[in-house]
Structure 1
Amino acid sequence: MLASRIVIDLSPLRSSPGFRLVFAARVVSLFGISLTTVGVPWQVFEMTRSSLQVSIAAAVVGTTTFAGTLAGGVIADRFDRRTVILLSRGGATLVFTALAVNALLPTPQLWLIYVLVGINGATAVSQSALMAVTPAIVPRDQLAAAGALVALSTQIGAVVGPSVAGLLIAGPGLAVNFGLCALGSLITSTLLFFLPSLPPQGAPTARPLQSIAEGATFVAKHPVVRGVLLIDVAAMVFALPYVLFPQLAIEVFEAGPQAAGLLYTAPAVGAMVAALTSGWTSHVHHSGRVLVVAVLLYGAAIAGVGFAGSLPLALAFLAVAGACDMVSEVLRRALLAHCTPDHLQGRVSSVWLAQATVGPSAGGVEAGVASRLLGPGPAIAAGGAICVVATAALAATLAALRRVSLRADEWAAHPPEPAGVPERSPLEPEAEIEGAVDAPVEGALAGADTERASDHDDPGRR
């Protein structure tokens, strides 16, 4: 039926108790994190009245997250991923608690905010481990569906969180906002505690730096993986205007924290609608081409935000941008999992996550400087336009990305049928998970030197 090809595919939730745990944990975690996404920029801007200072805070997070994700890729391919995830989430809980305490001080300390968000960025060591979980616990033919559900879990929290943050900041205050974030992190850790042990199979014997280099070399040589990540950079560096939202709300729309919360919420609303209607992404023939078109439309929508003369119009453009971003994320995630050998999943995930952190941080600094020179509206419009031009130029040179399809085996790094990974879930005590530890694969790089892929990973993601 047509509806079944459009509505989001829930097969991974039905078939994998472990994936249900990860999904639930992400919803709770990302709701809490979205409170901080509004709270920290608002607090910094309120204290300094400078979007540049907000962008500096974003750069601090980006720097430490970059280091954390690169290290996390190696750690995820060497140690039990469940342990890595739990330790990292525990550290994040302490950071959010400290942010709440700082907000309670008669004079909150700006330097302490920078230190705490920097430490929180370092807890990104768990993101690669969590991202590497999904390809191992769901069947290969459900990767796009799992990617859509993972992306949906992000938006469920992101839709509600920023608006709630705006109300909390305007009402009980920042301390309560950060306190709820700490509570969400604690609940997340509790849910993930019930995952089974998830040690990587065939952990690499190379030194850590050599392991990182192996992952980076794969990314650089694989034409599809390289193309997917380059297209992502174009959007992240030039067209992520989130650091300007507090200034946009106050100076352009003459509103308060509630309006800032709506600006952060609007992309998530559009993304959620796109996720709920993402069933078609599993059936599309030209996955790479659709990815490129989605990023082009995203850049155009962001440019529209810069030209919007009213808050409702800006929210509408942001919702469209969020929907396009969701489509690109679903396909990006699925293509990376489709093309990457299992023994490299952690490290390739870490490269993606590292660039997904550095890109927005660099873009935040660029947006802050541009806003200072041009004002927030023109800065956002210029960033969206540059994103469109850069994406079109990259797509013209990335023939492999234009040809790749999730429905073809040409670039597939794994056999289609996964083996089983037994695990128990508190949501289904007697159930066993049908997992996906893939069989050995040789020749991971098409057209490049073949490399042994007989060692594999296990589960997850952000």
Structure 2
Amino acid sequence: MAQTPSPFSFRNYRFYWFTRLATTLAQNAMVVVIGWQVYDIARRTMAPREAAFHLGMIGVAQFLPLAALTLITGWTADRVDRRWIGRIVLLAEGACAAWLALLAFHDTTTIPAIYLVAIVLGVCRAFANPAIGALAPNLVPPAVLPTAIAASSVAWQGGAIVGPAMGGYLYAHSHWLPYTISAALFLLASGSLMFIRPTPKTALDRKANPWRQMVEGLAYIRRNRLVLGAISLDLFAVLLGGATAMLPIYARDILHVGSEGLGHLRAAPALGSAATALWFAFRPLRHNVGLKMLVAVALFGASTVAFGLSRWLPLSLACLAVLGACDMLSVYVRQSLIQIWTPNEMRGRVGAVSTLFISGSNELGEAESGFLAALIGAVPAVVIGGLGAIGVTILWARIFPELVRARTFDPPKTLEDIPGEEMAK
């Protein structure tokens, strides 16, 4: 049997991989500093539960633009050159980072200013995620795609490991420095996309009704129960198990480790994720992919509960690392199913819906955790969320038996083979 080539043997993929790494470094450095600044500024005049409410509102500010623009951004990614969408949007994210750097340099950062940036970043990511995500299948042959997804996840998680620590340490040195470095990384990421050669154009009918084309992505996911089950499982499990949103509270008021310790806490889930992604880059998952995803999500919930109860930093870091590893396995299975099963002309629209679900689980998960913490405290909020994630996994195994039966990533040979697809006889 011929050995599958490495995705890095393809020129376009190498530039894509660097774009993913630089973008994730910049985004995660900003996320950790934004979270710390919001909570720290709020705590100067508010009690912990009131300050936790503002952490939740940051998640809402990033999610609302994405929810409003999902159909438009997916359609745009299938109509416009995806490389140019990524180039422009990454420059806009760099401008946001530069503005926050300027505010921090003059010590004029306010919570409303951070809210405004969060909204603009939400708009940028609404356009960037489906466009850049839909590029990957056009850069390597189908047989190489699962390995390429795993390698891309290594860049993503590598940036998620280094980015938070980088942001925390740079912020401890100078408050404006992490934003400045992030702005430079966004510029490099946009420049890297300039070197990706033209990819195959989609077969989207330019004369068809745009609104009808926009909703086709929703219709495809609704009919494909395997993809619907995988996406919605992630949405509800991570929505409930949003422990990472509480990390500023744990760092400041529970574990008492400060902004530098917050960087370690933010990096721990990414460390577990990166190790898992690196394993899959060399040993791709091939059998019982659906069942393994369900088990991973249940373990994700259990790790969340353990973290919520921990008062010892090493144990907390270990729980977060396991949590990240389980989340990575779920991401790997879900993204492989979506990218392999979805036709190229629909990848932007399906990717946009997937991004909405993912962002819903992340940003709304942060909001849910923040609001719940404001009501009952951070620790009960995290524990209840982890238990909820376990419950969702059990429920989804019953509602979507297609997940349990999913053995491999092999796409259907015909439309009739799609799980849940009802064809006119």
Q: Shorter chain as normaliser: what TM range?
A: over 0.9
CA 1:412 to 1:330, structure 2 compared with 1: closer, same or farther past 3 Å? farther
- 1:420 maps to what in 2? none
5+ unaligned residues in a row in structure 1: which ranges? 414-441, 452-462
Q: Which amino acid aligns with 1:83?
A: W
Question: Deviation at 1:80?
Answer: 1.1
Aligned pairs (5 A) from 1:26-425:
26-49=20-43, 50-124=51-125, 125-173=127-175, 175-198=176-199, 200-205=201-206, 206-279=208-281, 282-406=284-408, 408-409=410-411, 411=412
- Counterparts of 1:142 and 1:240, CA distance in 2: 32
- 2:421 maps to what in 1? 448
- Counterparts of 1:301 and 1:274, CA distance in 2: 16
- Does the 8 Å contact 1:70/1:354 carry over to 2? no
- Counterparts of 1:65 and 1:444, CA distance in 2: 32
3-state DSSP class of the match of 2:242? coil
59-68 vs 326-335, which moves further:
59-68
1:12 paired with 2:7, answer yes
Once the two structures are superposed, what CA deviation does each residue of 1:82-138 show, in whole Å capped at 9, x if it has no partner?
Answer: 111111111111111111112223432321211112111111202111111111221
Q: Which amino acid aligns with 1:87?
A: I
- Counterparts of 1:151 and 1:236, CA distance in 2: 18
- Does the 8 Å contact 1:76/1:200 carry over to 2? no
Q: Which amino acid aligns with 1:275?
A: A
- Counterparts of 1:281 and 1:321, CA distance in 2: 20
- Counterparts of 2:262 and 2:79, CA distance in 1: 42
CA 1:286 to 1:313, structure 2 compared with 1: closer, same or farther past 3 Å? same
- Counterparts of 2:404 and 2:420, CA distance in 1: 17
3-state DSSP class of the match of 2:330? helix
Query: What is the RMSD of the two structures over their aligned residues, measured on CA atoms?
Result: 2.0
Q: Which amino acid aligns with 1:46?
A: D
Q: Which amino acid aligns with 1:255?
A: V
Question: Deviation at 1:269?
Answer: 0.7
CA 1:196 to 1:188, structure 2 compared with 1: closer, same or farther past 3 Å? same
- Does the 8 Å contact 2:275/2:325 carry over to 1? yes
CA 1:81 to 1:281, structure 2 compared with 1: closer, same or farther past 3 Å? same
- Counterparts of 2:231 and 2:145, CA distance in 1: 18
5+ unaligned residues in a row in structure 2: which ranges? 44-50
CA 1:10 to 1:251, structure 2 compared with 1: closer, same or farther past 3 Å? farther
- Does the 8 Å contact 1:96/1:182 carry over to 2? yes
3-state DSSP class of the match of 1:278? helix
Percent identity over the alignment? 27
Question: Deviation at 1:446?
Answer: 5.0
- Does the 8 Å contact 2:157/2:270 carry over to 1? yes
- Counterparts of 2:149 and 2:330, CA distance in 1: 11
Question: Deviation at 1:189?
Answer: 0.8
3-state DSSP class of the match of 2:407? coil
- Counterparts of 1:404 and 1:280, CA distance in 2: 22
Greater fraction of residues in helix:
2
- Counterparts of 2:80 and 2:200, CA distance in 1: 6
Once the two structures are superposed, what CA deviation does each residue of 1:56-84 show, in whole Å capped at 9, x if it has no partner?
Answer: 01110111233344422110111111111
Question: Deviation at 1:284?
Answer: 2.6
- The size of the alignment, in residue pairs, is 413
- Counterparts of 1:82 and 1:351, CA distance in 2: 19
